[in-house]
Amino acid sequence: HVQLVESGGGSVQAGGSLTLSCAVSGITFSSCIGWFRQAPGKEREGVAAIDSDGRTNYADSVKGRFTIPQVKDKNALVLQMNDLKSEDTAMYYCASAKVASYCHGGVSRIAELAYRGQGTQVTVS
């Protein structure tokens, strides 16, 4: 039984920072793991991802502000978010898959990953 559990969301003022965490269990190896978000009334949007070789991709809207740190625990994922803006307000979801191709060519397919968590809310005012 694959389970992804996000944590770290909350409310912050514009310009502030938050760190999201995702704990993955029930899967021995994620070839592609990342974050997508969805704001009310908007489409799901890939935010950031990392593949099994440690290569990262970011949406243009978050480049230079969001970072996936390299961690030794392959069943954990962190998203460091700095200089948050009101447009970053959304529910953030962690997602993973055994297929590496989802991580190739950017973050457009991150919302399609097979396994996902329940989400954590980020509100920027």
Kindly state the tokens that stand for 30. Answer: 């994620």
Tens digits of residue pLDDT in 19-51: 999 999 888 777 899 999 999 999 999 999 999
Kindly state the tokens that stand for 39. Answer: 């704001």
Tens digits of residue pLDDT in 77-110: 999 999 999 999 999 999 998 888 889 889 999 9
Is 73's pLDDT higher than 80?
Answer: no
CB under 8 Å to 31, separation ≥6 — which residues?
A: 51, 52, 97, 98, 99, 100, 102, 103
Is 58's pLDDT higher than 90?
Answer: yes
Average pLDDT over residues 57-69: 96
Residue 114 pLDDT? 87
Q: Are strands 10-12 and 90-97 parallel, antiparallel or unpaired?
A: unpaired
Q: How many alpha carbons fall within 13 Å on the CB side of residue 107?
A: 24
